Amino acid sequence: MTRQPNILFVMMDQLAPQVLKPYGGTVCRTPRLERLAADGVVFENAYCNYPICAPSRFGFMSGRMPSRIGAYDNASELPSEIPTFVHHLRTMGYRTCLSGKMHFIGADQLHGFEDRVTTDVYPSDFSWTTDWSLGPTHWTPWYHSMRAVLDAGPWRRSVNTNYDEEVAVEACRWLHDHADRVDGKPFFLAASFIGPHDPYLAPPSHWELYTDDEIDDPRVDDIPLDERDPHSRRLYYTTGRHMDEIGPGDIRRARRAYYAVMSWLDDRIGRVLDTLEAIGAKDDTIVVVSADHGDMLGERGLWFKMGFHEWSVRVPMIVHAPGLYRPRRVKENVSLLDLFPTFLEWAGDGRMPELFAPIDGGGLASLAGGGVEGWPDTAYSEYCGEGTESPVLMVRRGRWKYIHCDDDPPLLYDLAADPDELTNLAGREAVGDVEADLDAEVHRQWDPADLKERVLESQRRRKFLHAALAIGRRSPWDWSPIRDASREYVRDESDVQGIYGAGRSDKRR
């Protein structure tokens, strides 16, 4: 690449990397993603920094741990004064666009993006504010429920597939429009899909690509409620498991639908990749594939996310840039926070611009190229949402994962020897030094008691504001894509000369 590279960021919602063949999956078929991984850099141990949607996204957009910018749950605002990597890319000469979900809360629905070509799929107000005063096992209808599992199967259409079809169409349209400008500017495009997030409703065409018999069962069976760690026990109620019975057939259908949605999404991603080739940008574009968090998919009897077991907190991270990196697999621990400086490293040819706020991530450019010296091999994640009354905090360092909550006994797993996290080593003398070191790291990164007070204060404020703004005339913050039909297609005689558009691909005059 001889100039600033274009960057295409393909993001999924609630995609557990374990289902993908590049990460050891054996059933789910995603040929376009598999091709990107085969020719790219696969980060084997990438983590989200918060295992639900909005705070995770605010973290990688800002390069900061979510709690440091007040992002505590799915109804927290991303403050407009927080610089995102998109702001920096604009100052570095990039044209920036968001097609799809980013779950911004508040009046600022751009946060640096010059173009936003779809609306969002979820509320942009404070309606989904967590309320710890209700208790850690409280369930309310807007939480997840087992209906997502029990209703899984082929569906002619759904909100999610409708939305993701629009994401793909608008991303491709924007790429063509960008190419037609012929101004030489590089682009950053985020194509951010809601799939394979529950409900697990699969297009019939892709449901039929699979059979029930080939669907794999969870690696770890349902763990009895009284044998679960305290947070997993609370999530039994928070996700509505106490209201519905889930059988082996239900699990298999949900996993089949999840795989089918991913195959359907792979086709949409393929359209975007084909558009890169059609506009002549394939060789000048770095493609990054990731997700905001994973999905337990029945592992350990758990569903969705909200915890720190591997299927919930790990994410795929694939970098396809054949002009920069040879194919390789990276075992070191990384996180979504590391994307902020990485994008800027690529845009600045290794030189970082002046940052006007601190960031917590480290650039991955050297690591992607095989340079591991000095990498801290540590990832952090946190959770302050439903199903707890105190922050739940995670450190992954080397082979070890440590989980702390002031209300619970600690958890310590050796993921090299115990990848399914079946044996809690906390309290064992043989690993006492490891536990003490990781506990000290938790308290170096966070002040759990202070964080709890800040969370509670924020919850009280937002609950009040939401109630007040529901009185009288409402002024929604939801994003409406800006389109002026008077300037589209053919509107007067002067437009006729441009009726063919600017998309000619041959050299004839």
Q: What residue has token string 């082979």?
A: 399
Size of the chain, expressed as the number of residues it contains: 509
Q: Which of 276, 300, 281, 369 is nearest to 40 (CA)?
A: 369
Residue 199, preceding peptide bond in cis (omega within 30° of 0): yes
For 61, 83, 198, 340, 357, the CA distances from 87, given in Å and listed in that order, are 10, 6, 31, 11, 12
- CA 463, 123, 318, 92 torsion: positive or negative? negative
Q: Count Cβ atoms within 10 A of the Cβ of residue 348 and give its class: 0-12 exposed, 13-18 middle, 19 or more buried.
A: middle
3-class DSSP assignment, residue 351:
coil
How far apart (Å, rounded) are the C-alpha atoms in residues 345 and 284? 16
Residue 215's contacts (CB-CB under 8 Å, 6 or more residues apart) are: 27, 252, 255, 256, 259
How far apart (Å, rounded) are the C-alpha atoms in residues 148 and 319? 32
Q: Which residues are catalytic?
A: 53, 103
Residue 233's contacts (CB-CB under 8 Å, 6 or more residues apart) are: 225, 226
Answer yes or no: are the C-beta atoms of 316 and 289 closer than 8 Å: yes
Strands, DSSP E only, in 48-200? 95-100, 115-116, 153-154, 187-196
How far apart (Å, rounded) are the C-alpha atoms in residues 254 and 243? 18
Q: Which two tokens stand for residue 224?
A: 């009895």
Residue 457's contacts (CB-CB under 8 Å, 6 or more residues apart) are: none
How far apart (Å, rounded) are the C-alpha atoms in residues 349 and 495? 41
